[in-house]
Amino acid sequence: MTWDELADELGTDAALKGLDARGIQAVIDILALVVFADEKLSMLERSEFEDQIDSLPWLAGKDAEPALRRAKEARTEDAWKAIVRSAAGPLRSAGVGEKVYRMAAQLAWSDLDLHRNELRALQLIAEGLGVPADKAAAIDNAIG
């Protein structure tokens, strides 16, 4: 195990340890969508995004750049829904929908401003991951 792999393993969030490669990629896809929902990437968002990625289980070739490119190109709500739909299956079956929603909300608020597009992305993510609206609102209120 390399130093990077060890550091990644030690930093893995306990709730996410059971994710397989599809689940890990699904989380990355959800987070990338939030990053570009407001069509800009601040330094605070980039830092939070990298911290969130580091909290995922180690995976050879874990690379967020392709997900960031796809999210940046997703300009319509239908494109956002497609990303969420694709990611939702592995995350719902792993029982981590609420945890991933919390990660997405933390990322959306990381630049201290919630853009209306970020809010809409969070709504789509909550729906896709099966997080009840009242639970999503409670998470949002606790973070923002």
- 55-93 per-position pLDDT tens digit: 888 765 667 888 889 998 998 999 999 999 999 998 987
Instruction: Give 38-60 as a DSSP string.
Output: TS---HHHHHHHHHHHHTSPP-T
What residues in the chain have per-residue pLDDT under 50?
1
Nearest one of 100, 112, 113, 130 to 33, comparing CA atoms = 100
Q: How many CB atoms lie within 10 A of CB 30?
A: 30
103 phi, psi to nearest 5 deg: -60, -45
pTM score of the predicted model: 0.85
33 phi, psi to nearest 5 deg: -60, -45
Nearest one of 72, 87, 77 to 33, comparing CA atoms = 72
Tell me what pLDDT residue 54 has.
82
Tell me what pLDDT residue 8 has.
57
Tell me what pLDDT residue 51 has.
87
Tell me what pLDDT residue 42 has.
82
Q: Which fold has domain 3-143?
A: TerB-like (1.10.3680)
Token couple for 34: 């939030």
